[in-house]
Structure 1
């Protein structure tokens, strides 16, 4: 049995791991690599022949895990893609959105400079909608916890990890030359008591673990809860000073958890009704997928549904679909809450709301997720007094606030606990992926003190297991 880490090696994006058992090749995740300094077109350069891959197992729908699947299919992959039912639906939505992003970038480049035709040819999208459709045709959804026999020697079980609806760890039981071996790939690990999502479930006996390390060395806040933080911020932004609260949030996952949290606040009468606008067409579509797979949400959300109805609907909530409606929000002068994407402020309708409100003393920008270095969100969080939005340098007069309570990733201690819950004596090696080098180093140092064998793999290094 061989393991090769081809993506998210000493970095966060582009998850892609190759598992070989005799002559059978399984790719676990095929994510888009959008690390700083990496050209989008570089994602076409697979370090193997896509035609030789027999099967893909997808842990969850986020683009850094699923986003290069259409490129793989376009390049010759002809096998099946296994994932959970919610992941199948969310992946198709996110991949279609990626096509739209590629095309928008292409349109911007098409009209620049003297040699327009030349520029158009050399800035082709990574893939098109027909490639997304071809990818969707290869997806075979599986239920959680159900053993799926891939062939006579390999069995797969998908174990819930929280993080996103449908997210799963891929656990393999393998007969390799008469020896039974086990290996698991975590994908991304969620956190306990997260709105809408179930807690991560621990793995059964596992000899080899390929584990994410995104929040290595960092701990989430635990002195407050989501309800109290949201109530405090809304009071300060919309009641005490009658202003507007703008919340950048990723359309898939984060927005649904935020909407449910707001629903509980207003349904309980903890705050007077304040108009809430969800200004993201993709968030609306993603919410419909959450409704479709309602049996997958946690007990709290299902109980709320039984008592109060749809957890993603309430009286003062509006889902904004048309661009015309989005622009009209700027003319809404009463206190309101605007939830819009993208979460790091790099594109999307959120930029229009920032453009009109960043110099408004009565506006509050409230971050509920991580913002990577180099993004507009990161510049605001570090305290820049002037930022460039839509080509204009604008002074920052709005209040900037943040919380990590709605982060979908488990923190350092969550990852350690997850690993320690693997039955004693079974775990031989931990391979750390999907994290910055310092995050991986923090996890390794902690586990090494507890006598775990920990490896931080270099990209392309082959491990004989």
Structure 2
């Protein structure tokens, strides 16, 4: 059996791992690598023949794990894509949104007309629909036979609705070998989502390391942080709270947390706008797969109804509604995407509020270097929006309490659930160098053999 790490090697994005046994090729994830500005050009080439891949296994819907699947099909892949039912639904939404982003980058307005200027789209809506037709869904904790001698099991790991660790049992030359791919590991007690389940004992483990060396805040809850911020921004003063949030996953967790706050009367009513059509569609997927949400969420539904709908909340659909929020002069909360401020309707709200002393911008997720969100977080006094340099008078805040990733201890404990005698090697991917090194040192100290693969490095298992 041979493992080749083709993506997310010594970086976070572009997850893609190739497992080969007896001339049968399994690709685990096929994500977009967007570490470079020219990522669209970079992602149109694969280091292997896409037609040689027999099956793809998708851990979850996020674009850095799913976003290059349509390119794989366009270049010759003709097999099945195995994933959980929620992952299939959410991936379709994200891939369609990805096409819209490609098209918006390709075209710009010049004197009222659209002219081609940017890179050619990696794929189009047709390719997304071809990809969706390849999905074969497998329920959690059910053994699925891929072919004779190879079985699959999806283990819930939180992080996002439908997210799973992949456990493969492979019979090779009369010997059974077991390998697991964590995908992205969530954290305990996260709003709406189930806690990560232990991964069964395996011979090899390919683990993410996003938060290696970092610990989440533990001195307060997300509800306490939100109450404090909303009270300071919208109750004591007639201000606006703007929360950049990714439409899928983060927004649903945030809306549920706000529902709990206002339904329990912890704050006086404040109008809340969710300004993201994609968030609305994703919330419908969460409703569709409601039985997979955590026990707290299920109990809330029985007692008080829909977790994602309450009196103070409005979902904004069309652009005209979005623009009209600027004319809403009462205190309010605006939740909009994208989370790093790179495009989306959030930029309109920033443009109108970045110089508002009564505005607070609360970041609830990671902002990569070079993004507008990162520039605000590092304290840049001036930012550029709509070709204008604007002074930053709004208050900038950040919390990691809604991060969907497990922290250093969570990742380490995932490894420690394995027997040191049975687990032959841990491969660390999906992390920056500092995180990889820190987590690798802790795993080695715990008595395990660990490797940090280079891109394209091959391991005989």
Report the TM-score, using the length of structure 1 for normalisation: 0.97
2:443 pairs, out of 439, 442, 447, with 447
Distance 1:38 1:147 in 2: 40
2:35 maps to 1:35 = yes
| 2:212–2:431 contact (8 Å) kept in structure 1 | yes
Find the aligned partners of 1:306 and 1:273 in 2 and give their Cα distance. 23
2:13 equivalent in structure 1: 13
State the shift of 1:40 in Å.
1.1
Per the TM alignment, residue 438 of structure 1 is displaced from its structure 2 partner at its CA by: 1.0
In structure 2, the partner of 1:321 is: 317
Report whether the alignment pairs 1:232 with 2:228. yes
Written as runs of structure 1 = structure 2, the 5 A alignment for 1:125-136 is 125-136=121-132
Structure 2 partner of 1:23: 23
User: What is the deviation of 1:11?
Assistant: 0.6
Question: Structure 1: how far apart are the matches of 2:104 and 2:222?
Answer: 36
Instruction: Please state if 1:269 is matched with 2:261.
Output: no
Per the alignment, in what secondary structure is the counterpart of residue 404 of structure 1? coil
Structure 1 distance, partners of 2:205, 2:37, is 29
1:364-379 equivalences under 5 Å are 364-379=360-375
Alignment of 1:101-140 (within 5 A): 101-108=101-108, 111=110, 123-140=119-136
Tell me if structure 1 keeps the 8 A contact 2:182–2:206: yes
Report the counterpart of residue 2 of structure 1 in structure 2.
2
Q: How does 1:57-456 map to 2 (within 5 A)?
A: 57-108=57-108, 111=110, 123-456=119-452
CA offset at residue 37 of structure 1?
4.2
Query: For the Cα contact (< 8 Å) 1:204–1:423, is it kept in 2?
Result: no
Distance 2:239 2:457 in 1: 54
Structure 2 segments unaligned to the other structure (5+ residues): none
Give the whole-Å Cα distance in 2 for the aligned partners of 1:58 and 1:39. Answer: 21
CA contact (8 A) 1:212 1:433 kept: yes
Give 3-state SS (helix, strand or coil) of 2:322's partner: helix
Q: Distance in 1 between matches of 2:229 and 2:33?
A: 35
Cα deviations by residue, 1:329-367 (Å, 9 ceiling, x for unpaired) = 001110000000000000000000000000000000001
My pick for the range that moved more, 434-443 or 35-44, is: 35-44
Structure 2 CA distance for partners of 1:38 and 1:440, relative to 1, 3 Å: farther
CA drift of 1:391 comes to 1.2
Measure the CA separation in 1 of the matches of 2:217 and 2:63.
27
- 2:214 & 2:318 partners in 1: Cα distance? 39
Q: TM-score, normalised by structure 2?
A: 0.98
Cα–Cα, structure 1 residues 111 and 27, in superposed 2: closer, same or farther, change >3 Å? farther
**1:202-226 deviation digits (Å, cap 9, x = unpaired):** 1111110000000111111001111
| SS at 2:107 equivalent | helix
Kept in 1, the 8 Å contact 2:32–2:68? The answer is: yes
